[in-house]
Structure 1
Amino acid sequence: MKRVLVLMVAMMLAFATTAMAGDGSLEKVQKAGKLVIGLDDTFAPMGFRQDDGTLVGFDVDAAEEVGKRLGIKIEWQPTAWSGVIHSLNAKKFDCIWNGMTITPEREKAVSFSKPYIMDGQIAVIAMGNKSIKAHKDLGGKVVGVQKGSPALEAAKSLKPAPKEIREYDTNVKALLDLESGRLNGVVVDNIAGRYSMAQRPGKYLALPGYITSEAFGIAFRQGEDSLRAAVQKTIDAMIADGTMGKISRKWFGEDVTNPAKW
């Protein structure tokens, strides 16, 4: 009986492996010699442009290392974040690797990798604002968020509710409106928000605590499991050998990629 069970399990695993390999997604990328990745290229520090136009960031470094290990080139395709999933499924690129939060709604449309960073939404106010000291103080105020990001739902969850939630193409634009006094607060990814704060010291202040906590994942088209598995296997190896930790410390000053610390 044991032999029969072992044989059945082996057959099931072999079938699953064959099915995964047979979807052609990894083979297609290998044949093209490149992995095309969609991103919002204003999302610092995950992926953004330096003054000379060079694309840099945590996700950029991590993806370039994955490409090197898989023997393929990484090609970046900037796109509007509000339509990024539609663009992925329209085959404008092979995956989305840009600090994308894993949500149940998104999981209906794409297949995610395992989480590679744990993040959360925070609220940022202008430095010197004495009337807002906690999330509850944003009730009845005007709050900005990036269009198409989890910040919108996080802002909607605030109690008491904000008077108005304004949507922006980028976090940078929202923060500039905060600085100019057109907003009372901005709800933003912790990592992106704190990076922006570091770039303009003395301008912004993060309110204590998280509004929500969330995991970042890489999004692939549903059914393209062989490509997703190959990228995941490479990332797992990079976590194990310390490469992901090294990249993390470069951008965040600490290792935020180690699941054991979440």
Structure 2
Amino acid sequence: MKKNLLKVVAMLIACLSILFSLTGCGKAKDKGEANLKDEVVIGMDDTFVPMGFRDDKGNIVGFDVDLAREAFKRMNKKVKFQPIDWSMKEQELKNKNIDMIWNGYSINEKRKEQVAFTKAYLKNRQVIITLSESKINSKEDLKNRVVAAQAESSSLEAINSEPELVNQFKNGEVVLFDTNNDALMDLEAGRTDAVVADEIMIRYYIKSRGENKYKILKDDFGDEEYGIGIRKEDKEFLKELNNTLDDMKKDGAMGEISIKWFGENIINTEE
């Protein structure tokens, strides 16, 4: 009888141990992997000035880079910046090669199907840029012209939202480049008539290369906002990052970083 009782007690203890173990795993799973890591990996396009790019010494710098470093310093995490093929960014996140996409990443409905976004922190616009001597002054003037954009970018999505206009481009299509820098170099070489890209990037680009060389049209392909893309299961991590970004807005840290890169505070303060 005593032996049977001891067996029953031993079995109960074993069952409770398994139950607690499963419960702990469940909680960890709910938090997501990124929340449990000491070092998080940020996927980025290292040619996207001024958000994240390489300086003359090859160091990764930029507005988003400074924001990320400050945020994860507050969250007691190390951060690694991983250059990726921008056209594969969501797949890289899904495959867990990176923990987030943070590099002038525009929020839209298509992307929301694949990632969870933080609150927006910057407003942006998809603008049309040409050389200053170009006769292109409006969207109408893009007919039979070579129009370029970065592959798998929000710029391309914005252009394709107007299929009737795209059909009037030369060859009825947008010419795609791996990076915005490649597209702009093609514009300078005269092989492309116009480029559609993020206004924040374009204004920084023309400021460094000569404002008299280019013009930005009044017509554009719409407004948008930047956010940080995270795996949907990383709910606790998303909550903590949002809270950290809110604190950085309130205490002025975001504004200081904005002034450093843009000369003014352009942070989106709307909730």
Q: What's the TM-score bracket when you normalise by the shorter of the two chains?
A: 0.7 to 0.9
Please list every run of 5 or more consecutive structure 1 residues that lacks an aligned counterpart in the other structure: 1-17
For 1:199 and 1:155, how far apart are their aligned partners in 2?
Answer: 26
Cα distance change, pair 180–105 in 1 and its aligned pair in 2 (3 A) = same
Does 2:201 correspond to 1:197?
no
1:180 is matched with which residue: 168, 180, 189? 189
1:139 is matched with which residue: 138, 143, 146? 143
Paired residues for 1:248-259 under 5 Å: 248-259=258-269
Paired residues for 1:5-44 under 5 Å: 22-29=30-37, 33-44=38-49
Q: Which amino acid in 2 is paired with 1:28? A: L
Paired residues for 1:64-83 under 5 Å: 64-83=69-88
User: Which residue pairs with 1:149 in the alignment?
Assistant: 153
- Residue 193 of structure 1 deviates from its aligned partner by 1.0
- Residue 258 of structure 1 deviates from its aligned partner by 3.0
- Residue 255 of structure 1 deviates from its aligned partner by 1.5
What is the root-mean-square deviation in Å for CA atoms of aligned residues? 1.9
Paired residues for 1:26-175 under 5 Å: 26-29=34-37, 33-129=38-134, 131-156=135-160, 157=162, 160-161=165-166, 162-163=169-170, 164-175=173-184
* Number of equivalenced pairs: 240
Contact 2:30–2:233 under 8 Å retained in 1:
no
Cα distance change, pair 44–158 in 1 and its aligned pair in 2 (3 A) = farther
Contact 1:25–1:224 under 8 Å retained in 2:
yes
Contact 1:124–1:206 under 8 Å retained in 2:
yes
Percent identity over the alignment is 40
- Residue 26 of structure 1 deviates from its aligned partner by 4.8
Does 2:232 correspond to 1:222?
yes
More off after superposition, 37-46 vs 20-29: 20-29
Q: Which amino acid in 1 is paired with 2:192? A: L
For 1:68 and 1:145, how far apart are their aligned partners in 2?
Answer: 35
